[in-house]
Amino acid sequence: MNPEAEPSVSTGSPAVDTSQWLASRTFHHSNFWDIKWLVEEKQRQGLTVSLCLPTLNEEATIGQEIVILKAELADRYPLLDEIAVVDSGSTDRTCEIAASFGADVYIASDHLVECGNYRGKGENLWKALYLLRGDIIVYVDSDIKNIHPRFVYGLVGPLIQNPDIQYVKAFYDRPMAYSGGLRPTGGGRVTEILIRPLFSLFYPELTAILQPLSGEYAGRRAILEQIPFPVGYGVETAMLIDIYQRLGLHALAQTDLNRRIHRNQETIALGRMAFGVLRTFVSRLRQDQKIVLQDALPSIMRQFEVADGRYRQIEHVIEEIERQPILEVPAYREKFHK
């Protein structure tokens, strides 16, 4: 960026009252406890539901997730029509364990090879649209230690119950390891330090989303196939902004899943995550003509480490490459839109 050129910034619409949205589009997972009714309504509407578990070296938790979700939501109540792991190239036993417990297992790099390959969670989510057949796709992270069927039915429920809702985000209490125990915290660190301030400045309606970076969400194929997918850290932020821009706030909903226990990242890793998310966010601001920059954003994140009194700068290249809307991929159109 030219240091002498100041960016031009437009914050867009003024802050709005989101109380009506919060009242009508915020749910608790217990609202959807009647899984039998969800199955009957799903079948009445002729819907299919697919679960995607994106993975990279998650052998410690993937088996438990599949066993619990399959037993309750596929075998006992057929809410899920398929359970699939989409893997980034694990070097542990993640794929072996997942297959042994009955999940379909896909290696992301083996599919849509004509489109090339990138490594990242967003890549797995994007390719899942091609690999899975559901009208509704549920994405659930694979490192959850307290997995429960509510992580699925709490997200699918609003979509089955209300045809106007297109995309549902999870929120929850996220305990963090602290002094040998657990203490509850309201939201993720990157959310509160980066995303919520940015939403407050540029997309005030989206501040009503309690945990915009949560890794659990469900959406209708009809909208997911229309939006681009960053292959890395920015995928959750991009989904929210892009769907909001196309359909408005009332197409979005959120569900309280109570508590999520998972592996917490160190602050230095969250710095890299924030860098990637910020690059994605700025790209949306430019597209929406809310900000004008003279030059392209750098892709190098600089961090430091110290050893024996010496400081060393470490450079991380974080580009946040984005996959085009999968609807534009010929193989996808051939498979789903003949």
pLDDT surpassing 90 at residue 39: yes
Residue in 301, 174, 313, 167 with CA at minimum distance from that of residue 247: 167
Mean pLDDT of the chain: 90
- Between 74 and 175, the more confident residue is 74
pLDDT for the residue numbered 49: 98
Give the separation between CA 193 and CA 267, rounded to whole angstroms. Answer: 12
Lowest mean pLDDT among 3-12, 19-28, 121-130, 141-150: 3-12
Segment 162-170 mean pLDDT: 98
pLDDT for the residue numbered 16: 60
131: tokens are 């690999």
pLDDT for the residue numbered 188: 78
pLDDT for the residue numbered 176: 42
User: DSSP secondary structure string, 267-302?
Assistant: HHHHHHHHHHHHHHHHHHHHHTTSEE-SSPPP-EEE
Segment 222-236 mean pLDDT: 96
pLDDT surpassing 60 at residue 96: yes
28: tokens are 């608790």
Q: What is the pLDDT of residues 282-331, one digit of tens each?
A: 999 999 999 998 888 888 988 888 888 889 888 888 888 999 999 999 99
Q: Which residue has the tokens 């030059």?
A: 295
The model scores a pTM over 0.85: yes
185: tokens are 């915290």
Domains, in order of start, for the chain: 14-266 (3.90.550.10)
- For the chain, what percent of residues have pLDDT higher than 90? 74
291, β-bridge pairs: 9
Give the separation between CA 195 and CA 179, rounded to whole angstroms. Answer: 27
pLDDT surpassing 90 at residue 114: yes
What are φ and ψ of residue 169, in 5° steps? -105, 150
334: tokens are 């051939």
Residue in 179, 166, 170 with CA at minimum distance from that of residue 246: 166
pLDDT surpassing 50 at residue 15: no
Q: Which residue has the tokens 């196309």?
A: 246
294: tokens are 């003279």
Give the separation between CA 325 and CA 71, rounded to whole angstroms. Answer: 34
- Between 85 and 302, the more confident residue is 85
171, β-bridge pairs: 256
pLDDT for the residue numbered 268: 86
